[in-house]
Amino acid sequence: MTLLEVEKLRVAFRTRGLRAKPVEVLHGVSLEVAAGETLGLVGESGSGKTTIGRAVLGLVKPSGGSIRFDQREISGLSRRERRTLAPDIQVVFQDPYSSLNPAMTIGEILSEPLVVQGTVAKGARARVRALLDQVGLPSDASERLPREFSGGQRQRVAIARALALEPKLIVCDEPVSALDLSTQARVLDLFIDIQRRTGVSYLFVSHDLTVVRHISHRVAVLYQGDLVETGPAPDVTSTPSHPYTQRLLLAAPVADPALQRRRRERRARLRTSTAV
């Protein structure tokens, strides 16, 4: 069953100057996410991938097209109507350092969305304990401040906060890019494990094909506001058909210096010989 459907989405931003025309950053992008599925949304900086996530969250207003969630049109909702979607659509941001309030304990951070939705204090405390267990953190973490944790642990807290209201969809905006490689792998495995246990869907935004290969069922590739390739993750991340996706794949580092040099040379040939 399709949970999220984005159809011919356009987004334009105003630029400086009274007579300056808005600059369109998405040019009619269409994609969908099924229940229990992870769609990896990949592209370089400026491709428009983060803008799609922000449009789904209601942080960016579309200039055209539609966004349907659970068979409901949500692209034109007011701020008050958007609040009714909070239990179903959540987000994990890129930076685990700035996404958590440094003045609040972990328990306060995790219980805040529960209290806003009307959960009584006793129920909120029990839910916080369950959330900490779900993301592999000790129960006494609830009494500590964010600064007492590592980057990977803070991102686990951010994931727990996103899970607090048992959402159907989580928008993951570069959630592991600020972490070292070993921590990235553990956090990605945590996302996968949570999805298996809860059935939550992910719209997973990343610039890294290696990351989306690890976590995604399907992959959509964006280039300068256009969707250029989409398909099953093993196909798109191993044998891509579009030249731009091929360049992204060749940009991923490998341990063999000789192979890395040949990949750089092939990527340079693709960049100069193929118009995208």
Q: Give the H/E segment covering residue 132.
A: helix 121-134
Q: Which domains does the chain have, with CATH numbers?
A: 1-88+167-239 (3.40.50.300), 101-164 (no CATH), 242-276 (no CATH)
Q: What is the pTM of this model?
A: 0.89
The confidence band for 240, taking pLDDT boundaries of 50, 70 and 90, is very high
User: 249-255: long-range contacts at Cβ-Cβ below 8 A with a sequence spacing of 24 or more?
Assistant: 249/209, 252/208, 252/209, 252/210
Q: What is the mean pLDDT of residues 166-175?
A: 96
Q: What is the pLDDT of residues 79-132, one digit of tens each?
A: 888 888 989 999 999 887 888 999 999 999 999 988 888 887 788 889 999 999
Tell me the pLDDT tens digit for each residue of 1-52.
Answer: 899 999 999 999 988 777 778 899 999 999 999 999 999 999 998 899 999 9
Q: State the average pLDDT over residues 225-240.
A: 94
Q: What pLDDT does 261 receive?
A: 62
Average pLDDT, the chain: 89
Residues 63-83 pLDDT 10s = 999 999 999 999 988 888 888
Give the pLDDT band of residue 188 (cuts 50, 70, 90). very high
Q: What is the pLDDT of residue 65?
A: 96
Q: Is residue 265 very low, low, confident or very high in pLDDT (cuts 50, 70, 90)?
A: low
pLDDT at 276: 46
How much is the pLDDT for 202?
A: 98
Poorest-pLDDT segment among 205-219, 222-236, 238-252: 238-252
205 pLDDT above the threshold of 50: yes
CA-only gyration radius of the chain, Å: 20
The rounded distance, in Å, linking the Cα atoms of 168 and 42 is 21
Q: How far is CA 33 from CA 14, 121, 144, 262, 273, in A?
A: 29, 35, 36, 36, 34
Q: Pairing relation of β-strands 38-42 and 23-34?
A: unpaired
Express as a percent the part of the chain with pLDDT over 70: 90
